[in-house]
């Protein structure tokens, strides 16, 4: 069964610091790697995604870095804010005709 390994499980960062979450994936036939953000009691929402003909994608304070040879990608949150406190999920494609495979999530707490 294909898996996506996400780490760390939880993360505490000071306000203004950098939050880094890592994911490792298995072989995929198609490159598309999204990150989702989920607040308590809500459904996940797409935060940022990369279709890697590039190795990095930046949107505001959020950056995805992608290392195809290592089969790894990571989310960097710069200048972390208390409002960023949420659970973050990475995902990778499954086999052709199947759904995205999600990591187990990282709970981020940003202290003020």
Partner 1 sequence: DGGITQSPKYLFRKEGQNVTLSCEQNLNHDAMYWYRQDPGQGLRLIYYSQIVNDFQKGDIAEGYSVSREKKESFPLTVTSAQKNPTAFYLCASSSRTSDYLTDTQYFGPGTRLTVL
CB of 4 to partner 1, least distance (A): 9
| Closer by beta carbon to partner 1, 13 or else 33 | 33
Radius of gyration of the chain measured on its C-alpha atoms: 14
| Closer by beta carbon to partner 1, 77 or else 91 | 91
CB of 101 to partner 1, least distance (A): 8
Q: What angle do CA 17, 31, 85 make, to 5 degrees?
A: 25
Q: What is the DSSP string of 28-52?
A: -SS--EEEEEE-TTS--EEEEEE-S
Is residue 97 helix, strand or coil? coil
CB of 15 to partner 1, least distance (A): 26
CB of 90 to partner 1, least distance (A): 10
- Site residues for partner 1 per CB under 8 A: 1, 6, 9, 29-30, 32, 34, 36, 41-46, 49, 89, 93-94, 96-100, 102-105
| Closer by beta carbon to partner 1, 70 or else 96 | 96
What tokens appear for 84 in the block? 């960023």
| Closer by beta carbon to partner 1, 70 or else 99 | 99
Is residue 93 helix, strand or coil? coil
Whether the upstream peptide bond of residue 13 has omega within 30° of 0, thus cis, is no
């Amino acid at each position: 069964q294909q898996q996506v390994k996400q780490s760390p499980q939880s993360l505490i960062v000071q306000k203004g610091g950098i939050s880094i979450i890592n994911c490792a994936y298995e072989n995929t036939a198609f490159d598309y790697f999204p990150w989702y953000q989920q607040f308590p009691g809500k459904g996940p929402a797409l935060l940022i995604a990369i279709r890697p003909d590039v190795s990095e994608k930046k949107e505001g304070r959020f950056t995805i870095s992608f290392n195809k040879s290592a089969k790894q990608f990571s989310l960097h949150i710069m200048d972390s804010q208390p409002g960023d406190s949420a659970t973050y999920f990475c995902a990778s494609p499954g086999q052709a005709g199947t759904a995205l495979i999600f990591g187990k999530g990282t709970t981020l707490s940003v202290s003020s």
